[in-house]
Amino acid sequence: MRELIKWARNEMPKTDCSKSLSLMTAAEMEKARRFHKSVPNYAATPLVDLSNLAAYFKVKSIFIKDESFRFDLNAFKVLGGSYAIARYIAKQLGKDISEIDYGVLVSDETKAKLGDITFYTATDGNHGRGVAWAANKLRQKSVVLMPKGSSRVRLENIRREGADATITDLNYDDAVRLANKKASQDPHGVMVQDTAWEGYEEIPGWIMQGYGSMSHETREQLRAAGVERPSHIFVQAGVGSLAGSVIGYFANLFPDNPPVMTVVEASAADCLYISNLAGKLVGVKGNLTTIMAGLACGEGNTISWEILKNHANFFVSTPDWVASRGMRVLAVPLKGDNKVISGESGAVTAGLLFTLLRDEEYRDFREALGINSDSVVLLFSTEGNTDPEKFRDVVWDGEFPSGNV
């Protein structure tokens, strides 16, 4: 029998998360969006209306944000890394990010003032590529460490952005610790990581704000489609930075009537799901083996956790077959719907939605969510086929089938 999806309602006592939540206001997202608009080749990524899939499942609307078009990098992660680096440099120049744009950052004058900087990070692929891309644009260096089992294709993509990139024999969380150690030993080193821990929260907060450009675009696109507020949001989580950014943004927008918001993780690395059950932030150890490489993180972001424990409604732990189902559903849509080329981490929320709407064994979860004919569901496809061979293995050859096998 196939591994089951696990879900749990958030019943944790509410606490004061105003400090973390204040990072994700519309005003902060507008700052991030203004910076990203100044970057050459910026364009809002599509919000795809899966109207025929919605009709098939008898819900009002299903929208999915397609991040495969982001700066030709095929993933949303560059939004966070580029904005964090921009904010770091602005701070070194004694300016607020609202006072400078991309042109100032890449100028000869700025380079002369800053000298040489090396940006360090750990990644499964997309975040590291974004950091390397941003560092390269700013004529700076980057060092990128990847966990064992990482895709060679993703490694080479990072190297093509000019980074010193290697695949280690460590899991993701240990690779983060090694990158941080290397950065601390380099007098010109700066750690740019999308997770936070005690004593390291400023840059992760900036990364979460950078991700907010995606949510800000989505809000504008929903309004253009005649939607003021989605009723349900599903967002994937590794360390939780994206989930905290999205949920924090929409919690700020609709404080009195927020959407029903669900955090979705890989079952091999479901630290937030387990933390919800434990009532406190705990980690997951081991190799964290999953096709959802972007979600293979065993330790949660402390900033994001404060937002999620107060504003997420449900936490879900999903096996690999859920992601593969989502990839196939999006790549081969119902007639009339636009296809979305989504990678393993990008498609998991679509696979989850498809499963809970179609499979009767998850009827209790569907009813707990309150999805009905008036529901407007928002999903995020956070990456395209960043590993094309794996994408073909799943979509063409049926790897990780979703049947009862």
CA pair distance 249, 174, nearest whole angstrom = 30
Active site residue 77: yes
Tokens of 138: 């700013």
CA pair distance 328, 69, nearest whole angstrom = 19
Q: Would you say how long the chain is, in residues?
A: 405
CA pair distance 210, 165, nearest whole angstrom = 23
Q: What is the DSSP string of 148-203?
A: TT--HHHHHHHHHTT-EEEE-SS-HHHHHHHHHHHHHH-TTEEE--S--BTTB-HH
Indicate the helix (H) or strand (E) that contains 218. Answer: helix 202-224
Supply angle C-alpha 7, 13, 16, rounded to 5.
120
Which is catalytic among the residues 31, 49, 65, 77?
Answer: 77
Active site residue 31: no
Torsion angles phi and psi, residue 402, rounded to 5 = -100, 5
Indicate the helix (H) or strand (E) that contains 387. Answer: none
Supply angle C-alpha 215, 288, 67, rounded to 5.
25
Tokens of 107: 């100028």
How distant, in Å, are the alpha carbons of 84, 211, 288 from that of 205? 8, 10, 25
Burial annotation 197-214 (CB, 10 A radius, 16+ → b, else e)? beeebebbbbbbbbbbbb
Which is catalytic among the residues 124, 270, 320, 337?
Answer: 124
3-state DSSP call for residue 334?
coil
How distant, in Å, are the alpha carbons of 82, 159, 161 from that of 139? 13, 15, 11
Catalytic residue positions? 77, 124
